[in-house]
Structure 1
Amino acid sequence: MIRLDAGAITEIALLAAHCDDLAIGLGGTLLTLAEAGPGLRVRALVLTGAGTERAEEERAALESFCPGADLELRILDVPDGYAPAHWARVKDAVGALRRDSAAPVVFAPQRGDAHQDHRLLAELAPTEFRDHLILGYEILKWENDTPQPAVFHPLPAGCAERKAALLMKHYPSQRNRDWFDEQSFLALSRLRGVQCRAQHAEAFLLEKATITFGGA
């Protein structure tokens, strides 16, 4: 399989509709990036959950998923499921994140996500982050919207298990959901691992990129 190297990453921007989306979609990648580059700058925006227990869960979780990172997290109080009705506010928040960030890589939901809040962020991300590498993460849930990703990030040994354990530890409010368990998270990462000849992996949809051949 052809491997593409992003080089050293010192800052990333994260977009999510809900608390736990980031940890589910790229928790293993966050652990890998943070541990590969101490002091990694992480600038994150979550649309919903401000002032609730979910916001507290999210802050504690991202601190664990980004150990040693320079983390800035903004959580808004947009009503869950109604982000499209707050289009202007969401657009302004995404624009503010872009202006406050020097990140070359942006992680956002993917356009084929069945949840309207996720889709809105996926559509807005490239309108603000026009010259960035935007990777669309997948969010395991009950909707039958599992995508066909093109970019795979093999996870280091034990990373998938650590991700699943941290998800269960930091999001007790979600444990009543029938899909929110370690088996589900490990099943998806194992599937993505099979698809890129690794034990486990996280997968992303590529928004747009250029490639250089011949070393020019």
Structure 2
Amino acid sequence: MIPLTAADIGSVAAIGAHCDDIVIGAGATLMQIAHRNPRVVVHALVLTGAGTEREVEEKNALAALLSHAPRAQVRLTVADLPDGRLPQHWGSVKQHLAGFRRGCEPDVVLGPQRGDSHQDHRLIAELIPTEFRAHLTLGYEILKWESDLPNPSVYTPISAELARRKTRLLADCYPSQASHTWFDDEAFLGLMRIRGAQCHARYAEAFVLEKAVLDLATPQGGSA
């Protein structure tokens, strides 16, 4: 089982099928983690887009995401698996995740959630717990054409300034996605506003919790 504690987060593993998934799903949360822990190390794995303009966009976006924490580190790996066909490359996806897992020991794992209708997202969500077996794993949501938004169980309240910083970053760093009807400030702010209303905040990002332990026996700062 996986304990949920208030310990500082010094290392994060962030996993996405496509360049922009991580920032769409958890960009503001990563910015808040870096604000509290300016030396945080973000290990990021994206399974598609290597060698294309999408990889350049992702590098620029993650650098901008943590620009307010100059001592933070981003260790990004972008693979070259085919977009939209990850289930056909199950073995390669598993291999990339296994190699990524060997290179980090995160305090929290951020990735897609199992109920995502996109086949690439869903496969990664199913495989993450097979590699990160003793970690707190949060499944982020990705707004898109499919009507597949989850009923989240974990919320990260964020300020209006931070919400707008995230939407500006998405617009500035991912010009290749501007033609999508759902890829705009109103859509992203609207979802964050809804999640904020659900947790008594102005804005929020929301996640699906894989598993957690409520420890009522261990004294603070010690062991039972």
- Post-superposition offset of 1:72: 0.6
**Residue type matched to 1:75 in 2?**
V
Partner of residue 72, structure 1: 75
1:146 & 1:157 partners in 2: Cα distance? 22
What secondary structure sits across from 2:123 in the alignment? helix
Q: May I ask how many residue pairs the two structures share in their alignment? A: 213
What secondary structure sits across from 2:111 in the alignment? strand
Deviation digits for residues 32-76 of structure 1 (CA, Å, limit 9, x no counterpart): 111211121111100110010010000000111123321110001
1:132 & 1:97 partners in 2: Cα distance? 14
Answering whether residue 50 of structure 2 is matched by residue 50 of structure 1, we say yes
Answering whether residue 42 of structure 2 is matched by residue 39 of structure 1, we say no
Answering whether residue 143 of structure 2 is matched by residue 140 of structure 1, we say yes
- Give the alignment's TM-score, normalised by structure 1: 0.96
What secondary structure sits across from 2:156 in the alignment? strand
Deviation digits for residues 137-195 of structure 1 (CA, Å, limit 9, x no counterpart): 00011111011000000013411111001100000000111110000000000000000
Let me know the Cα RMSD of the aligned residues. Answer: 1.1
Answering whether residue 116 of structure 2 is matched by residue 118 of structure 1, we say no
1:54 & 1:33 partners in 2: Cα distance? 25
2:134 & 2:101 partners in 1: Cα distance? 11
Residue identity (%): 53
1:83 & 1:96 partners in 2: Cα distance? 17
Alignment of 1:107-186 (within 5 A): 107-186=110-189
What secondary structure sits across from 1:42 in the alignment? strand
Unaligned runs of 5+ in 1: none
- Post-superposition offset of 1:7: 2.3
Partner of residue 27, structure 1: 27
What secondary structure sits across from 2:81 in the alignment? coil
- Post-superposition offset of 1:5: 5.4
1:152 & 1:124 partners in 2: Cα distance? 23
Answering whether residue 103 of structure 2 is matched by residue 93 of structure 1, we say no
Partner of residue 8, structure 2: 8
Partner of residue 102, structure 1: 105
Deviation digits for residues 104-124 of structure 1 (CA, Å, limit 9, x no counterpart): 210010000000000010000
2:24 & 2:205 partners in 1: Cα distance? 10
Q: Which moved more, 1:188-197 or 1:100-109?
A: 100-109
**Residue type matched to 2:31 in 1?**
L
1:157 & 1:184 partners in 2: Cα distance? 15
2:217 & 2:93 partners in 1: Cα distance? 41
1:96 & 1:105 partners in 2: Cα distance? 17
- Post-superposition offset of 1:215: 4.2
Partner of residue 200, structure 1: 203
- Post-superposition offset of 1:91: 0.4
